[in-house]
Amino acid sequence: MIVALVFIATLGLASLGNPLLTVLPTLGVGFFYALLKLPMRIPALTIVFLALVLESPADNGPWKSPLYSVGELFLGQIKKIVKIDALVITGVDTLLVLLLLIYAYRRMRGLMVDTQRIVATPRALVMATLAAIGIILFAWAYGIGTGGEFRWSQWQVNQMMHLPFMIFVFAALLPGPDCARSLGVLVVAAAVIKSCVALGVKQVYPMADFMTSHQDSVTFALGLCHLWIHVLENPNKKTIAALAGLGPLILMAMVVNDRRLVWVQLAYSLLFTLYASRWSWIKFRLIRAVLVAIPVGVIYLAAGWGTSGTGVFAPVGTVKSMIDSKEDASTKWRDLENFNLYVTLTTNPAVGIGLGKPFIQAVALPDVTSMYELEPYVPHNSLLGLWAYTGYVGFSTWWMTLVVAAFIAMSGYYAARAPPSDRITALTAICAMIIYMVHVYGDIGLSVTPGLFVVASCVVVAAKTAVANGGYR
């Protein structure tokens, strides 16, 4: 029966004209068989890697690779395949649910497939995640009950529910700190692969607005941060060589991808690691270099502020475009949108306006619904959007998940002794959260694919590491 179904499905996909699609049924059967036999950590980490390297149909650059169809199937919404509008979940969401079912089956049958030690997820993180899910459901019910439209509320729920769902999934699938090294290698490998793609596309499409996608800012920033943290916590020839060899490649990709937000993500993360990491000879020298560079940087900014922001003062132009709405139309748009979200929040500060409703346009924005129909419901500033739709109570409850995760990770950092892997895991997890937070504020970031996967996986591994080394109980 399986062979017959695979044969029929292969013939059907062959009629679409894409030869890559014809191998999907065979790969699907092989992958499903592997899921039944492999330890959960292997498919889970594989999914994280694929989510970082495959092209997302929602945010792809000027060039489509031969694997674009796979990325569309993996990261695209199921409704585009099944033609049911209510199915706004993605292919990878469905796959993660399948992994959870297999995990539950193994637990009920007592099957010992996972060979690595399994560490319990801290109860505080579990409770914070449950609270976030509960407040989203409340905002959904409140919004629909007060006149919200179900169609638009689906998108908002999908955005807000994604991170808590991912944390629960990886809490079940990743056994503990033994996954930390593999996870770090996969993040850096994804950043390097995407960097090579960005630099290659630049040669073919030199005038494109960006080379891969806006979402890849998360991958670039975290990959570089992870290399940096290795040097900061374990300075030796190997870690310094890795940063010196791969760091410039990732930096060049960040330049050609031309996304301003990535520099903010990187800067905040690096500053945090300098502040929070233990004192060492390399940290002392870096702090001294930063203190010396501050006056030079101030003079450089002052000298270039009144210029056109090109040539040697191009970085100054980038800074101006991010903070001065007079210099950049996109920044002005976002300032106006932020004001509208603030006005929306003031109508019901406690619980917000609920889901399924557009935010109030106290200042009329240009109508872009022909290109992006979700703009009135899923604004660019996801952080203020979360605040406007769920109020102080909803925002605080949802955001508490990240605060609790950061507290647990730093508890594990201070409890770590030797080797430095536990400290590297903790700092990488918090950098992933910082990068995600910046993306949430600067763009439609609540359900940005790389952010979801790196935050959920890194947070779970760091939390279980804290439990394993006695830093948190």
Q: Are 354 and 142 in contact, with CB atoms under 8 Å apart?
A: yes
Residue 54 domain-assigned?
A: no
Our count of domains for the chain comes to 1
Q: What is the DSSP letter of 443?
A: S
Residue 424 domain-assigned?
A: yes
CA 296/CA 331 separation, integer angstroms: 27
Q: Give me the residue label for tokens 């700092």.
A: 427
CA 331/CA 333 separation, integer angstroms: 5
CA 451/CA 275 separation, integer angstroms: 23
- Please report how many Cα atoms fall inside a 13 Å half-sphere around the Cα of residue 10, on the Cβ side: 13
Residue 442 domain-assigned?
A: yes
Q: Give me the residue label for tokens 């099957």.
A: 111
Residue 11 domain-assigned?
A: no
Residue 295 domain-assigned?
A: yes
Q: Are 431 and 225 in contact, with CB atoms under 8 Å apart?
A: yes
What per-residue string of b and e applies to 35-64 under the rule 16 or more CB within 10 Å gives b?
beebebbbbbbebbbbbbbbbbbbbbbebe
How many C-beta neighbours within 10 Å does residue 213 have?
22
Q: Are 219 and 452 in contact, with CB atoms under 8 Å apart?
A: no
Helix (H) or strand (E) holding 89: none
Residue 8 domain-assigned?
A: no
- Compute CA distances 340 → 152, 289, 346, 368, whole Å: 19, 42, 10, 16
> Which residue range forms the structural domain that includes residue 130?
121-468
- Compute CA distances 386 → 23, 343, 379, whole Å: 41, 13, 9
From first to last of its 473 residues, what are the pLDDT tens digits of the chain? 878 888 887 777 777 666 666 777 787 787 777 777 888 888 899 999 998 998 877 776 677 777 777 777 777 776 666 556 666 677 888 888 888 888 888 888 777 777 667 888 999 999 999 999 999 999 999 999 998 888 888 888 888 998 999 999 999 899 888 889 999 999 999 999 999 988 988 888 877 777 788 888 999 999 999 999 999 998 889 999 999 999 999 999 998 888 888 999 999 999 999 999 888 888 888 888 888 888 887 887 777 766 766 666 666 666 666 666 565 666 777 788 889 899 999 999 999 999 999 888 888 877 777 677 777 888 888 899 999 999 999 999 999 999 999 999 999 999 887 778 999 999 999 999 999 999 998 887 788 888 999 999 999 999 999 999 888 77
How many C-beta neighbours within 10 Å does residue 372 have?
11
How many C-beta neighbours within 10 Å does residue 242 have?
15
Residue 57 domain-assigned?
A: no
Residue 163 domain-assigned?
A: yes
How confident is the model at residue 471, as a pLDDT? Answer: 81
Q: What is the model's pTM?
A: 0.87
What per-residue string of b and e applies to 412-424 under the rule 16 or more CB within 10 Å gives b?
bbebbeeebbbbb
For 81-89, the CB contacts below 8 A with 24+ separation are 85/151, 86/154, 88/154, 88/155, 88/158, 89/158
